Structure 1
Amino acid sequence: MNIVVLAGGNSTERDVSISSGEGVCSALRQKNHKAILVDVYFGKESFGEELFPEVYDVKAEADSMREMSKLVEETGKTRKEFFGPNVLSVCKAADIVFLALHGANGEDGKVQSVFELMGIPYTGTGPLSSGMAMDKGITKMVFEAKGVPTPKGVTLAKGKSETALSAYDMNYPVIVKPCCGGSSVGVCIANDDAEYADALKEAFSYEDEIVVEQFVKGREFSVAVVEGKAYPIIEIAPLQGFYDYKNKYNAGSTIETCPAKITPEQTSQMQTYAELGYKVLNLQAYGRLDFIMDETGAMYCLEANTLPGMTPTSLIPQEAKVLGIDYPELCEKLIEVSLKKYQ
């Protein structure tokens, strides 16, 4: 197949996206697909005479994209368009676009909406469910309404909401996070008034809407759901602190165990909740849901990821490996299940 692996973008998760894209593109090339890596934000003035060449240097393209990252902020000051030169025409020429985007303008349904209107097949779920899952406040409301356990929390609007915890019958510690950010960027734990004030300032520096959530102390887990069926559960145990940006992407900062060492009953319950979360958000093809379980065994779903990390060492590839699915096979499988949307 001729495949565009779309990565980069202009979100806070650009670097993670490039890593995902590089891994996916290399894996698909191993499977003899004519995959190319495309920077959605910068594109190219020319992609050459042969759009999907037999021989292609994935690493060189990824390195070029990383070099362009330093221009994102400056470019954004003078350019309103999100799609770079020739990006849409190249995507239109592909059999499918593998979305390796993370964060705003990629995981939030905007790119998906454009592709729907242009008739471009792509991996993952549709625009509406992408937008719902991206917004942690909306996700929480849907979970609460549909019986998916989730920590108590509230959405606050900058300058328009009461911020005192007493107004929401909450107490310290709390988690403060941007509504639509990803990779735990801007997420803080607050244990007192001073830390809470700092956390609000930090989160509001990213977005005008944030979520304040009752902190649950416990073990952290993640569950991939592919075509509505939960994969083996992976436990994420940070050596220090919680599963923030640093612990997610710095090698050796977390211990990841799959299958997670919990009871069969707990495994079944968490997988059931993951499948329910996937269903009530109307996800398609695949996604990943994150959980925390306290010392009593009570489990809470924290959020859903519609375009989770896809480096070879990311969480979903580790879960798939337990099922005997290697990384290149998984990349192919995600394309296969995504194409069913168009049948």
Structure 2
Amino acid sequence: MKIVVLAGGTSTEREVSIVTGTGVCKALRERGHQAVLLDVFFGLASAESGEVFTDDYDVDQAAAYMRSFNGRLEQEKVQRREFFGPQVIRLCQAADIVFMALHGSNGEDGKVQAAFDLYGIRYTGTEYLSSAIAMNKSLTKQFFRAWKVPTPGGAVFNRNQKDIGLEANGLKLPVVVKPCCGGSSVGITIARTDEEYEQSLKEAFSYEDQIVVEEYIDGREFSVAVIGGKAYPVIEIAPKEGFYDYHNKYQAGSTVETCPAELSPDKTREMQEYAKLGTKALGITGYCRLDFMMDQDEKMYCLEANTLPGMTPTSLIPQEAEVLGESYPELCEKLIRISLEKYQEQVL
């Protein structure tokens, strides 16, 4: 198959996206596909003519080309009106499918998916509407509550809102403060004092105009992938210090990840059922990953759903798949295969 692995972009998770895209592209080429790595924002100016889907392709060189633009990103975001980089739409239309390796805003929030629907481009993952809902933590909570998926209590605040006190909104310290639509735990802090709460608000508002403040759940953290309607083995995430923030997610050796998680069979099934219910609540198709907390009384809470979760070889979903005997390249192919089902074609 001819596959564009779309990565990079303009979000705070640009580098993570490049790592994901590089791993996926290498895995797909290992399986015999003509996969190419493409930056959604900077494109590939050298592809004005000629064929790029070739057997002779250097993935690392393509990744280095993408990173060469990192220093110009903020300047380009201000100057540019067109989001899609040179040749992006042409190459994506020429591919059999686009593997979405984007993370964060302008990639995981449904905007690119909606554009691709209009262009007739096939892509991996769920559709634009469920992507947008899942990206918005406030909407996610509303849908979870409507579908009886347990989730921490919380409130939504806007930048110019006068009353952002805790008691008036049914909350008390400690609380978790997070940007409403961010990813990879960027901008998320735990506030245990009034002073920390004020600083947390400033931190979250530095990323977005709307934030979510929710009750802090003291306990164990887990994640569950749902692929093709099937819940995968539960994985436990235990940071050696602090919580599962951006540093602990991507700094090697900073987190202990156990899969299958050490849970009773009943608790495992309960979490997996809530994970599947969460995908239904948000209308997610194809695949996703849902994050959970479990308190000291073993009551579980679903925090959020990730519609384009990290897919480096050591990311959480590949670890869950490995327990089932699925290699990383096989998993990448599987995500393509189940995504193609929405187009009613079986290419693989």
Q: TM-score, normalised to structure 1's length?
A: 0.99
Q: Deviations over 1:258-295 (max 9, x none)?
A: 00001101000000000000111010100000000011
Correspondence 1:285-304 to 2 at 5 A? 285-304=286-305
Aligned counterparts of 1:257 and 1:44: Cα–Cα separation in 2: 40
Correspondence 1:327-342 to 2 at 5 A? 327-342=328-343
Q: Deviations over 1:280-318 (max 9, x none)?
A: 101010000000001100000000000000000000000
Aligned counterparts of 1:318 and 1:56: Cα–Cα separation in 2: 28
Question: Post-superposition shift, 1:325?
Answer: 0.3
Aligned counterparts of 1:20 and 1:170: Cα–Cα separation in 2: 37
Instruction: Confirm or deny: 8 A CA contact 1:99 1:124 kept in the other structure.
Output: yes
Letter in 1 for 2:165: A
Letter in 1 for 2:8: G
Aligned counterparts of 1:77 and 1:200: Cα–Cα separation in 2: 26
Aligned counterparts of 2:121 and 2:170: Cα–Cα separation in 1: 47
Question: Post-superposition shift, 1:51?
Answer: 2.0
Question: Post-superposition shift, 1:161?
Answer: 5.1
Aligned counterparts of 2:50 and 2:11: Cα–Cα separation in 1: 31
3-state SS of 1:155 partner = strand
Distance 1:99 1:161, change over 3 A: farther
Structure 1 spans left out of the alignment, 5+ residues = none
Aligned counterparts of 2:95 and 2:124: Cα–Cα separation in 1: 12
Structure 2 spans left out of the alignment, 5+ residues = none
1:8 corresponding residue in structure 2: 8
RMSD of aligned Cα (Å): 0.7
1:198 corresponding residue in structure 2: 199
Correspondence 1:269-280 to 2 at 5 A? 269-280=270-281
3-state SS of 1:46 partner = helix
Give the count of matched residue pairs.
343
Letter in 2 for 1:27: A
Correspondence 1:1-343 to 2 at 5 A? 1-47=1-47, 49-160=50-161, 162-343=163-344
3-state SS of 2:36 partner = strand
Judge which range, 160-169 or 320-329, deviates more: 160-169
3-state SS of 1:300 partner = strand
Aligned counterparts of 1:315 and 1:161: Cα–Cα separation in 2: 40
Q: Deviations over 1:184-218 (max 9, x none)?
A: 00001001111001000110110001000000011
3-state SS of 1:154 partner = strand
Aligned counterparts of 1:169 and 1:332: Cα–Cα separation in 2: 46
The runs of at least 4 aligned residues of structure 1 exceeding 4 Å deviation read none
Letter in 2 for 1:293: M
Aligned counterparts of 1:129 and 1:208: Cα–Cα separation in 2: 22
Letter in 1 for 2:172: N
Letter in 2 for 1:40: V
Question: Post-superposition shift, 1:67?
Answer: 2.1
Aligned counterparts of 2:41 and 2:138: Cα–Cα separation in 1: 27
Aligned counterparts of 2:3 and 2:162: Cα–Cα separation in 1: 46
Aligned counterparts of 2:237 and 2:65: Cα–Cα separation in 1: 32
Instruction: Confirm or deny: 8 A CA contact 1:228 1:279 kept in the other structure.
Output: no
Aligned counterparts of 2:258 and 2:81: Cα–Cα separation in 1: 43
3-state SS of 1:98 partner = strand
Q: Deviations over 1:58-82 (max 9, x none)?
A: 0111122122111111111211221
Aligned counterparts of 1:161 and 1:58: Cα–Cα separation in 2: 50
Distance 1:162 1:317, change over 3 A: same
